[in-house]
Amino acid sequence: MKPTTQQTLITELQSFGVRLADPGAGAASRRGGAGPSDHKAMTVEGQTVMVPVHTAPAFASPYVAEKPDATGVSVIRRDGVAVGEVSFPLKPRFYELQTLDGIPYSQIATLHGRDVLATTILQTCIRYQSRSKTCKFCAIGQSLAAGRTIAHKTPEQLAEVARAAVLLDGVKHMVMTTGTPNATDRGAAVLCESAFAVKAAVDLPIQGQCEPPDDDAWFTRMKAAGIDTLGMHLEVVTPALRAEIMPGKASVPVSRYLDAFRAAVPVFGRGQVSTYILAGLGDTREAILSIAETLIELGVYPFVVPFVPISGTPLEDHPTPSPAFMREILQPLGGMLKAAGLLSSEIKAGCGKCGACSALSSFEG
């Protein structure tokens, strides 16, 4: 099937990045940290996506976004020819606030995509402490070192910011991720206390993201604490590549992830457990589609996103995957998800629901 204009533009912008004629357009982009970084949110034909703007490929991209007009709409040109329009979500109002002790709300949580509040509860990670264990794509320590965030967001701070983001900016769901604090609960405990506090302050669907904990009892605890959906992110699926790219995290093998998924789906529900797979780090199309098939059978949503290198990481010069490679994965994967009735639109909270880091949801229709 021929890709639509929207699918083509999103996959191309996410692969090549875009140069901005007006770097101040839209909400400030984020540099370093966990999750999408060196990106800016843009809305392409109704779908908000994260597009690289600060990466080496983006500086050489054939795409340029013109200065937005008075309504915030910007013409996108490829090699000088207009190919579409994007708009930029505005800076959220909660960014203007700070806690009583003077911490800007934007250092506690940020707006992702159009309507997602995202936070990295612990900005430190046992995997990040030694060069030999660090995930080579990750920049979790960079924004902390640069003073753009704080090391541990307390449950009270998260609750305060979540409430403001709902009231002032209408955020619809929240993503809580965390650096891995230990080799036992692997972040599940800090997710529980944080979700409990947020849910006590405001009715906001929450996705918790952590490595598989050592004890499956954590899944029931997380659900009881107010976590609606769970993300346990494989990132890379081929065992030898996992060991090379994320030597610390690969100590939890794919088999443990699969067991954890089997235990978590009955607790959170089919389609409410997901994983994040970074295409472009060496996994073949076949390897990604094969594990996606297994995951879909288990009721797990495989959110496949194009890898985007982050400045300052060991993989900062690693190329992004080509639009053709992404289409070869996303097109069949979208069909598999549709056939299984496992759709991003049914997810209560989190990355799969937001979808801004990938064109995947546009292939589910």
User: Where does this chain bind ligand SF4 (CB under 6 A)?
Assistant: 35-36, 50, 112-113, 116, 118, 175, 351, 354-357
DSSP 22: S
Q: Does residue 296 contact residue 340 with C-beta atoms inside 8 Å?
A: yes
Residue 268, classified by CB atoms within 10 Å of its CB into exposed (0-12), middle (13-18) or buried (19+), is buried
Q: Which is nearer to ligand SF4, 173 or 223 (CB)?
A: 173
Q: For 117-178, what is the HEC assignment? A: EEEECECCCHHHCCCCCCCCCCEHHHHHHCCCCCCECCHHHHHHHHHHHHHHHCCCEEEEEC
Residue 213 has which token pair? 């904990």
DSSP state of 52: E
In angstroms, give the least distance from the CB of 127 to ligand SF4: 18
Q: Which residues of 334-350 are buried (b: 16+ CB within 10 A; e: fewer)?
A: bebbeeeebbbeebbbb
Closest approach of ligand SF4 to the CB of residue 356, in Å? 4
Q: Which is nearer to ligand SF4, 109 or 263 (CB)?
A: 109
Task: Please state the closest distance from residue 184 (CB atom) to ligand SF4, in A.
Answer: 26
Residue 194 identity: S
| Residue 164 and residue 176 in contact, taking contact as beta carbons nearer than 8 Å | no
Q: Give whichever of 113 and 280 is closer to ligand SF4, judged by the CB atom.
A: 113
Residue 215: CB minimum distance to ligand SF4, A: 26
Indicate the SS3 state at residue 78: strand
Report the residue number, 237 or 357, with the smaller CB distance to ligand SF4. 357
Rounded distance between C-alpha atoms, residue 39 and residue 281, angstroms: 19
CA distances from 137 to 133, 247, 292, 295, 316 (A): 12, 12, 22, 23, 8
Q: Which is nearer to ligand SF4, 50 or 190 (CB)?
A: 50
Task: Provide, rounded to whole angstroms, the least separation between the CB of residue 357 and ligand SF4.
Answer: 3
The nearer residue to ligand SF4, 87 or 263, going by C-beta atoms, is: 87
Q: Token pair for residue 173?
A: 């769901």
Residue 53 CA: distances (Å) to CA of 65, 199, 276, 323, 365: 10, 34, 21, 17, 28
Backbone φ, ψ for residue 42 (5° rounding): -140, 150
Q: In angstroms, give the least distance from the CB of 281 to ligand SF4.
A: 17
Least Cβ distance, residue 238 to ligand SF4 (angstroms): 23
**Minimum Å distance from CB 149 to ligand SF4?**
15
> Considering beta carbons, is residue 76 or 356 the nearer one to ligand SF4?
356
Q: Which is nearer to ligand SF4, 263 or 305 (CB)?
A: 305
Q: How far is the CB of 300 from ligand SF4 (least distance, A)?
A: 16
Least gap, CB of 121 to ligand SF4 (angstroms): 15
Nearer to ligand SF4, 50 or 191 (CB): 50
- Residue 246 corresponds to which tokens in the numbers above? 């994320």
**Is the CB of 12 or the CB of 115 nearer to ligand SF4?**
115
Pairing, β 229-231 against β 273-279:
parallel
Residues 54, 37: Cα–Cα separation, whole Å = 9
Q: How far is 19 from 35, CA to CA, in rounded Å?
A: 21
